[in-house]
Amino acid sequence: MHNSNTASIYESLGISKEVYEFGEKILEGLRERFDHIDEIAEYNQLKVIGAMQKARVQEACLMGTTGYGYNDTGRDTLEEVYANIFHTEDALVRPQITCGTHALALALMSNLRPGDELLSPVGKPYDTLEEVIGIRPSKGSLKEYGISYSQVDLLPDGSFDYEGIKNAINDKTRLVTIQRSKGYQTRPTLSVERIGELISFIKSVKSDIICMVDNCYGEFIETIEPSDLGADMVVGSLIKNPGGGLAPIGGYIAGRKDCIENAAYRLTSPGLGKEVGASLGVLPSFYQGLFLAPTVAAGALKGAIFAANIYERFGFDVVPNGSEERYDIIQAVSFGKPEGVIAFCEGIQAAAPVDSFVTPEPWDMPGYDSQVIMAAGAFVSGSSIELSADGPICPPYAVYFQGGLTFPHAKFGILKTVQYMLDKGLVDKAQLVVK
Ligand SMILES: *Cc1c(COP(=O)(O)O)cnc(C)c1O
């Protein structure tokens, strides 16, 4: 009775019975894995509650300030909560940090000085950082300020090129940037454990190097964070995992006291630092979002695994694959032709709570060589912890999919994509039969 009710509400939302039942079959095989994800979420939920209790979060913390924002207890306490979660000396968590790129740029620009060198030992960093660093010429880049950059790629098998890294470290090397998530590349995402090994190695070569981790999309996926294994700074966006879908803006840097102090003086002004920066009205969403973040991240992770198992079965190339360990929430599926990318994005869009009736189309996005299609029907504009997908219309015609504030929504979105695939003849009915 329960099942047929569920099947019929799916049917009323455009999911045929065969697609629904196919999804149920796939899910049966994932129960054990999902239980493990729930255990991690449980651990992290307690970690967050413990961090809030330790910082003595109280009702007054939810009130914001205006103007200069002196004595903003809620802001200061929230930063203490972040420091407790990441086990760091301090943290900077602000709505004035506009996005993940800004948080990363801030951490870099405030901790590097002219003549210093920045090293990425894990290959090319995230696209937007190319202009921050000056890999692609840009106004205000680190390069313009006389900060040089060197890069050591991962070896073909995805392992660290320890020899190359050792050779790249020199007297000028001041800061190392390590990107945890693969982002929109094909290399594997790094586990916290592997990041810890890399940091130990780097510090054994030169002990005073600042190790910064771009933690975007990785928060709360494991029970430890890179700062537990030696990272001097972890940096991320609040419209991804740690904002829990509720934070409407913001970024964070958690880390060593001197690094955070540098960042604060750069964000506001020398002499002012953390003392100013009104929180306006965002604190309730920052606190509540952080509180929800462990279970939200778990739901998104389940969605990614569900999608991988479905599309792998259909014979498409999925990264990560259906069974491997996961260290971030991003799922890539390569369709080999544009129709697949388009149908997938249409399905995600059609499942959205906001703008479900619009049809995403490929467009010439600034900064890209090829057209890009994007699906998002988010409460927070551009939020990629909410269910979203995008893909460039060029070989290998891969779509990148992430998010879902709840697993039922992620599941619905993925079933929608399957329905679109089926209706457009990109997948055959016979492929929905699971023995
Ligand atoms: C999203 C992301 C960024 C940049 O964050 P924005 O908020 O989009 O500026 C940087 N690094 C990684 C790995 C990301 O996933």
**pLDDT (tens digit, 9 = 90+) per residue, 10-57?**
999 999 999 999 999 999 999 999 999 999 999 999 999 999 999 999
Token couple for 25: 């079959």
CATH code that applies to domain 4-43+294-432: 3.90.1150.60
Pocket test for ligand 1, best of 195, 237, 253 (most atoms within 8 A of CB): 237
Pocket test for ligand 1, best of 94, 97, 98, 101 (most atoms within 8 A of CB): 101
* CA count, 13 A, side-chain hemisphere, 306: 31
CATH code that applies to domain 66-290: 3.40.640.10
DSSP state for residue 125 in the 8-state scheme: P
Neighbours of 247 (CB within 10 A): 28
The pLDDT confidence band at residue 365, using thresholds 50, 70 and 90, is confident
Determine the pLDDT at residue 182: 87
Token couple for 97: 């940090």
Show Cβ contacts of residue 367 under 8 Å, excluding neighbours closer than 6 positions. Answer: 127
DSSP 3-state assignment of 406?
coil
Residue 304's φ and ψ, nearest 5 degrees, are -65, -40
pLDDT in tens, 393-419: 999 999 999 999 999 999 999 999 999
* Rounded-to-integer distance, Cα 103 and Cα 108, Å: 9
The closest alpha carbon to 399, from 326, 327, 296, 310, belongs to 310
Token couple for 70: 């002196």
Pairing of strands 117-120, 173-179: parallel
Predicted TM-score (pTM) above 0.75: yes
Q: What is the mean pLDDT of residues 74-83?
A: 98
* Rounded-to-integer distance, Cα 106 and Cα 93, Å: 12
Buried-exposed string 419-434: b where 16+ CB fall within 10 A, e elsewhere = bbbbeeebbeeeebee
Q: Which residue is it, tokens 């991240």?
A: 297
pLDDT in tens, 166-198: 999 999 999 999 999 987 777 889 999 999 999
Is 143:133 a contact under the CB 8 Å cutoff? yes
Q: Is 73 exposed, middle or buried (0-12, 13-18, 19+ CB in 10 A)?
A: middle
Q: What is the mean pLDDT of residues 302-324?
A: 96
Token couple for 383: 């939020």
Q: Report how far ligand 1's centroid is from the alpha carbon of 310 (Å).
A: 27
Residue 432's φ and ψ, nearest 5 degrees, are -90, 0
Q: Which residues pair with 148 in a beta bridge?
A: 117
Pocket test for ligand 1, best of 189, 214, 249 (most atoms within 8 A of CB): 214
pLDDT value at 86 more than 70: yes
DSSP 3-state assignment of 363?
strand
Q: Is the CB of 191 under 6 A from ligand 1?
A: no
Q: Is the CB of 101 under 6 A from ligand 1?
A: yes
Q: What is the mean pLDDT of residues 74-79?
A: 98
Q: Which residue is it, tokens 């695939």?
A: 421
DSSP state for residue 173 in the 8-state scheme: E
Neighbours of 36 (CB within 10 A): 10
Q: Is the CB of 130 under 6 A from ligand 1?
A: no
**Residue 421, CA distances (Å) to 15, 102, 415, 428 in order:** 12, 37, 10, 8
DSSP state for residue 44 in the 8-state scheme: H
Q: Is the CB of 99 under 6 A from ligand 1?
A: yes
* Rounded-to-integer distance, Cα 56 and Cα 65, Å: 19
The pLDDT confidence band at residue 3, using thresholds 50, 70 and 90, is low
The ranges assigned to domains in the chain are 4-43+294-432, 66-290
Is 111:277 a contact under the CB 8 Å cutoff? no
Q: What is the mean pLDDT of the chain?
A: 96
DSSP 3-state assignment of 385?
coil
* Rounded-to-integer distance, Cα 344 and Cα 138, Å: 34
DSSP 3-state assignment of 186?
coil
The percentage of the chain sitting over the pLDDT mark of 90, rounded to a whole number, equals 94
pLDDT in tens, 197-220: 999 999 999 999 999 999 999 999
The pLDDT confidence band at residue 367, using thresholds 50, 70 and 90, is low
